[in-house]
Amino acid sequence: MKNNSNKKSLIKKIRSEYIVKQILEHLNRIRLMAISQYNKKYQKMFDIQKEEYKKESYRIEIEIIPVVDGKGKFINIRKGNEAHFKIYFNYNRQEVNKTKILKKDKVGKIKVVIDYKNNAFYGLFSECKCIKKIKFLKFNRPDIVNMNLMFYGCSELEELDLSKFRTDKVIKMFKMFSYCTSLKKLDLSKFKTIKVKEMNNMFAGCSALEEINLTSFNTFNVEDMGSMFSSCSSLKKLDLSNFNTKSVKNMSNMFYQCSSLKELNVSNFNTENVINMSMMFGKCSSLKELNLSSFNTINVEDMRSMFYGASSLINLDLSNFNTDNVKSMYYIFEGCSSLVKLNISNFNINSEKINIQSMFSGCDSLKEIITSETFKKQFSDFFPFNFK
């Protein structure tokens, strides 16, 4: 009993001393701040203390597990940023001055510490092919603005923990996860994307990706979604119900070669500002139906190969499409080999600018096209279809 009493007393003493220490440090900072306003001599002292405090509070800690017997680059320290990185191998407190792993190093775990001065993560892990797992242990930095190509080409990466990630002020996410070809799951449910303008190619080439959580995404300011999910050929589900696409101008190749997607709900999409829809649903070979009744295409100029290779589509109703400003429709329905019925009753086609024959190449099952009288008069002689 006596030992327990002594232990409790000691813990109480340590806690009280710690609290008093914290209070005194805080009071010193406030006092120093007040003095420094009137005395230039103490201004530098305050700046130093503030710098140390900020450095400790706003650093980022990353744990990296390399591929077994992997060798090569594990972090991209770009020119001018070297001083802001500290790297440790295998729980060793001694800092390592290198950015590559050799087999002889026998590295099982890497810890990277990034201080507050670096506010751009452009290409941070770009093409690091020796990393198996990345976990952000600490991320108290809301000021990062650029995450372009951050994990681009991390082809061996199997696990990525971003639960403590901060994206509050990020503007650019171009190719952020592109060609992470071994990644099967990605949980981005903590992401704040209200300031992001560029999401083009964000997940392009993630061919093993089966699940992705985008439920927290606010895309109100995003202008470019071109090739966003391009070649995500293993993706089976995609929930975009919270996407706001009012500012988007480019949707070209957005779902290109998402060949495992059997369903895709884009009924909430606002496309009033979109200019380019070329290849948007190209090679979505498992899609059997597609509801585009909410699409506003008044500003679209390019619809080339929009449904190219969508070989499972049976019925397609585009009666709401306004094509007055479309300049290119080459191969728009090419390879839609299961398509039986097509409604393009509102299509306005300029025969001088558009090669009409290329539009229906490979549509071997097409039996009925619902179209305008003008279309019938212009093109009925070219096709064996039943025009209505």
pLDDT of 155 reads 96
| 84 contacts: CB under 8 Å, gap ≥ 6 | 114, 115, 117, 118
Cβ–Cβ under 8 Å, residues 289 and 314: yes
With a pLDDT cut of 90, the percent of the chain lying above it is 58
pLDDT of 384 over the 70 cut: no
With a pLDDT cut of 70, the percent of the chain lying above it is 78
Cβ–Cβ under 8 Å, residues 345 and 369: no
pLDDT of 360 reads 86
- pLDDT bracket for residue 130 (50, 70, 90): very high
Mean pLDDT of 93-122: 85
- pLDDT bracket for residue 25 (50, 70, 90): low
60: left (phi over 0), alpha (psi -120 to 50) or beta: beta
pLDDT of 337 over the 90 cut: yes
Task: Give the span between the Cα atoms of 227 and 232, in whole angstroms.
Answer: 10
Mean pLDDT of 305-333: 94
Cβ–Cβ under 8 Å, residues 264 and 238: yes
Enter the tokens of residue 271.
């496309």
Cβ–Cβ under 8 Å, residues 330 and 301: no
pLDDT of 31 reads 60
The pair phi, psi for residue 172, each rounded to 5°, is -120, 125
Global pTM?
0.83
Cβ–Cβ under 8 Å, residues 236 and 210: yes
- pLDDT bracket for residue 153 (50, 70, 90): very high
Task: Give the span between the Cα atoms of 80 and 265, in whole angstroms.
Answer: 45
The strands making up 315-317's β-sheet, listed across from edge to edge, are 315-317, 341-343, 368-370, 386-387
Q: How far apart are the first and last CA of the chain?
A: 95
Task: Give the span between the Cα atoms of 232 and 216, in whole angstroms.
Answer: 20
Nearest of 27, 26, 35 to residue 53 by alpha carbon: 26
- Average of per-residue pLDDT values in the chain: 86
pLDDT digits (tens, 9 = 90+) for 254-297: 999 999 999 999 999 999 999 999 999 999 999 999 999 999 99
pLDDT of 85 over the 90 cut: no
pLDDT digits (tens, 9 = 90+) for 41-82: 666 655 655 555 555 667 889 999 999 888 888 888 665 566
- pLDDT bracket for residue 386 (50, 70, 90): low
